[in-house]
Amino acid sequence: MNDKITEWLLQGEPWVEYRTRVDLLNQTEKDPQVVTARKAMLADVKIQSLLTELTDWPGIVLNSHKSASQPFHKLEFIADLGLNVSDAPVKKIVDKVMKHQSKQGPFQLPMNIPQHFGGSGQDEWAWALCDAPVVLASLIQMGMRDDPRVQTAIDYLEGLVRDNGWPCAVSPELGKFRGPGRKDDPCPYATLVMLKVLAQVPELREGKSAKIGVETLLSLWDESEERHPYMFFMGTDFRKLKAPLFWYDVLHVLDVLSHFKWARKDKRFKEMLKVVESKADGDGRFVPESVWTVWKDWDFSQKKISSRGLTFFIQRILERSGK
């Protein structure tokens, strides 16, 4: 990464400066500049607003997993920024999240699946493989990995893997609900977020489940014109640069895959990365091509000028990939 981009990122919002120092400059958490940037991040009005909202966990009843306003996506975002249980409000939020654990192990969210989709039509606590791994990965990142409840959830969800990745799976409360796809197909998004969990657990990062999941996503990229399991495509919309990294798109897939060192060497990973790199401007900065409208106050939620937030996410992938 060139010094000009680093300097530019360091002039960004406190969270961009903090993560740039830790992830791109490899400064330690004890470094005075890191300490100052982290304090500024925690005091930032937008971060405070997210924390206030998450303190009301679980918030609204879940209706669309893709919605960027979902509390579990916001939890994922602050976990990715490095907020953890030693930060006072986070401990309260984590306690609330872990209060609802299913008999199987995964942590639950309030949901309402209509009867015509195979659910009960009632508000109930449940989990699906398109939310449980996101919540679980966030808890691990926030410092809860050694908690027995978290271990139980990891073991159960990892155990759902099949030869071709993770399926569309839901808790018993949701009855026969399943996404729009063939039962034997893997769910690309469930597989992506399960890899996010395994990436946070060193002893699972090199394991069989991780190898299966990575191969599933890379194969889907290779066969993107023919295969679209559960209506997850890897076409034009998939390739648009978008932050935060919430759904099934090129940056989220690359970000997760970049945690696995054998994936980074794969030519399919490199092809995907090339698509992203080709979008840089002359200064190596990136302009968002798609936005989550509910994040309108953030610098990556416009499509006119380079975004430090978006550029940071891409530079972090490039850094992990040895670029």
What pTM was computed for the model? 0.94
Report the C-alpha gap between 192 and 255 in whole angstroms: 10
SS3 232: coil
Average pLDDT of span 172-176 = 76
Looking at residue 67, its pLDDT comes to 73
Give the lowest-confidence range in 153-157, 214-218, 228-232, 296-300. Answer: 228-232
Report the C-alpha gap between 87 and 199 in whole angstroms: 23
Residue 109, beta-bridge partner list: 126
- Omega prior to 244 cis, within 30 of 0: yes
Q: In 3D, which of 119, 109, 112, 120 has the Cα closest to residue 59?
A: 109
CB atoms near residue 240 (< 10 Å): 15
The string of pLDDT tens digits covering residues 264-309 is 999 999 999 999 999 999 999 999 999 999 999 999 999 999 999 9
Average pLDDT of span 88-104 = 96
Work out the pLDDT band at 61, boundaries 50, 70, 90.
low
Report the C-alpha gap between 187 and 195 in whole angstroms: 12
The string of pLDDT tens digits covering residues 15-45 is 999 999 999 999 999 999 999 999 999 999 9
Task: Kindly tell me if the per-residue pLDDT of 12 is higher than 70.
Answer: yes
Task: Kindly tell me if the per-residue pLDDT of 62 is higher than 70.
Answer: no
The string of pLDDT tens digits covering residues 241-254 is 999 999 999 999 99
Looking at residue 11, its pLDDT comes to 97
Work out the pLDDT band at 184, boundaries 50, 70, 90.
confident
Work out the pLDDT band at 162, boundaries 50, 70, 90.
very high
Cα distances from 61 to residues 50, 134, 222, in angstroms, run: 18, 17, 37
116, burial (CB in 10 Å: exposed 0-12, middle 13-18, buried 19+):
exposed
Residue 259 carries which side chain, given as an amino acid letter? H
